[in-house]
Amino acid sequence: MMHWNQLLSLKKHGDEHIRNRKDEKDSRVGFEVDYDRIIFSNPFRSLQDKTQVIPLSKTDFVHTRLTHSLEVSVVGRSLGRLVGEQVLDKHEGLRELGYTINDFGAIVAAACLAHDIGNPPFGHSGEKAIGDFFKNGLGEKYRLDLEPKQWQDLIDFEGNANGFNVLTTSRPGAEGGLRISYATLGTFMKYPKESLPKKPTLDVSDKKYGFFQSDKEAFLDVANELGLISKNKEEIRYHRHPLAYVMEAADDICYTIIDFEDGINLGWIPEEHALEFLIKIVKDNINSSKYAQLQTKGERVSYLRALAIGSLINDAVRVFMDNEEAIMMGEFPFALTEKCTYVAQMKDIITISISNVYESKEVIQKEVIGYQVINTLLEKFTTAVNNQYNGEMSHFDDLILKMLPEQYHIETDSLYERLMNVCKFVSMLTDGKALELYQSIKVA
C-alpha cells in the first residue's frame, strides 16, 4: 500500500537534501516552486506555437498547447485542493506534518502545467510521424543495431516519456534538470512503465509508457522515493501515484469540453449541439434566465462550458474519494472520468468532436503537412549526425549540423543516444519553427 506522507515528497530531483513540510516557508512552498520553474522554462514557452487540435491555426480563439496546459492547470488546482481537503480529513496525521489543501492543489497544478511539455509539433500526429519514420521510413535501417527496448522507444515515440526527459535531464550546471519535486514528478507520470513489454491490459496506466531507456535510472529513483507499488518484479511497471489520476481527470475534462467549444466557435459543430450535449451535465446548475439573456454564441457556449467543467470537477472528486483506498492499494485500473456520473455524455461529446473536428478536412490536411515536415527533418538530421560520427560527412551534412542548436551537439558512441537526441531536438520545435526549417532544407 502507498502512503501519503511518502507520496507528498518535497525532495527535488537532483538534490539529496531531505525536505520536511514544516520547514518550508509558507510564502514559497517547494510545490509552488515547481510551478514557477515549469512556467519559466523554454520547453513550456514553446507550447504557445504547438498544436492542440488544429495545426498552424491563425484563429485567435483556437487553443494551442500553451492555453490548453494553462487551463488544465487551473482545473487541476481546483481538483487537487478539493481532493486534498478530504484526504487531510481522512488522514489527520498529514496536517500534523504540515501539509495543507493548497499543497495538493499546487502539486496537481504543476503536473498539469507540464503534462504536454514533451509533445512534438503538430499534435499527436507529430508523435506518430516520429514513430513512423523509424518503423516504416528511412529510419528503419537502424533497427538491427539497437536493443529491442531502445527500438521501441523510437517506433512508438511517446510525448509523456519525452516530458519526463525534459523535466529530469541534467545539463552542466543544472543537475536534475528543472529540479522538480518528486511528488510533482510522480503526479506527472500517467504511465509509470517502460516501452516493452507492450501488453494490452484493461489498466489505464498501461495504455502508453512513461520514460525512455535513457531515463530508466531517474524513473526508478522517483518511483522508489515515492513508494510506488511495482506491478511485476520481472518488469519495470508500477501502479500510479494517486494524484496522477487527478491530473489525468483535469486533462480529460478540459480536452473533452474545450475542444468541443473550439469546434462550435469555428462553426464546425452547430451551436444548438452545445445545449443538446451539455444539458445533462449542467441541468442542476444552469440559470435559464441568465442563459437567455446572453447575446452572442461565444458567451452562451462559454457559460455552458464553465458550468460543465464545474460539474465534472465535483464528480471527479467524488469518484476519487469513493475509491481512495483501492487507488492507494494499486487496485483501481480506471480513469476517474470512466467512473463518473456523466461518462455517457462525455463519450457523446468526444464522438461528435472526432467526426467534426479531429477528422475534419482542415485538420487532416495540416496533419499531412506536419508528417512531411517531421519526416524530412528526421531524415536530414539523423543522416548528418551519423555521417559525422562515421567520418563520412558531406558539405551538405555540415550545413545541416550548423542548423542544430548547440545543446544538441553531443559526442557519443551510442547510436540510440544519437537518434534520440535528434528526436528530442525535433520534438522541442514549435510548429512554426519546424515548418521554417523544413522550407529552408527543401529550398536548399
In terms of domains, do 280 and 412 share one? Answer: no
In terms of domains, do 368 and 437 share one? Answer: yes
pLDDT of 176 above 90: no
In terms of domains, do 307 and 409 share one? Answer: no
CATH number of the structural domain spanning residue 83: 1.10.3210.10
In terms of domains, do 291 and 317 share one? Answer: yes
| Single residue among 331, 358, 385 that ends a domain in this structure | 358
Over the stretch 127-145, which tens digit does the pLDDT of each residue have?
A: 999 999 999 999 999 999 9
* Gap between the Cα atoms of 180 and 190, Å rounded: 16
- Mean pLDDT for the stretch of residues 165-178: 82
- Mean pLDDT for the stretch of residues 422-444: 92
In terms of domains, do 354 and 366 share one? Answer: no
In terms of domains, do 263 and 308 share one? Answer: yes
In terms of domains, do 30 and 105 share one? Answer: yes
Establish if 34 belongs to a structural domain. yes
For residue 23, the model assigns a pLDDT of: 81
Establish if 188 belongs to a structural domain. no
Over the stretch 364-393, which tens digit does the pLDDT of each residue have?
A: 888 898 999 999 999 999 999 999 999 999
Establish if 215 belongs to a structural domain. no
Helix (H/G/I), strand (E/B), else coil: 234: coil
211 in Cβ contact with 218 (< 8 Å): yes
| Single residue among 315, 338, 358 that ends a domain in this structure | 358
| Single residue among 302, 325, 358 that ends a domain in this structure | 358
Q: Which domain holds residue 40?
A: 4-120+242-358
429 in Cβ contact with 437 (< 8 Å): yes
* Gap between the Cα atoms of 375 and 132, Å rounded: 8
CATH number of the structural domain spanning residue 394: 1.10.3550.10
Question: pLDDT > 70: what percent of the chain?
Answer: 97
Cα→Cα distances 231→145, 238, 320, 385, Å = 30, 5, 21, 38
Over the stretch 298-318, which tens digit does the pLDDT of each residue have?
A: 899 899 999 999 999 999 999
Specify the pTM. 0.95
| Burial class of residue 217, CB neighbours in 10 A (0-12, 13-18, 19+) | exposed
- Closest residue by Cα to residue 14 from 203, 173, 131: 173
Establish if 276 belongs to a structural domain. yes
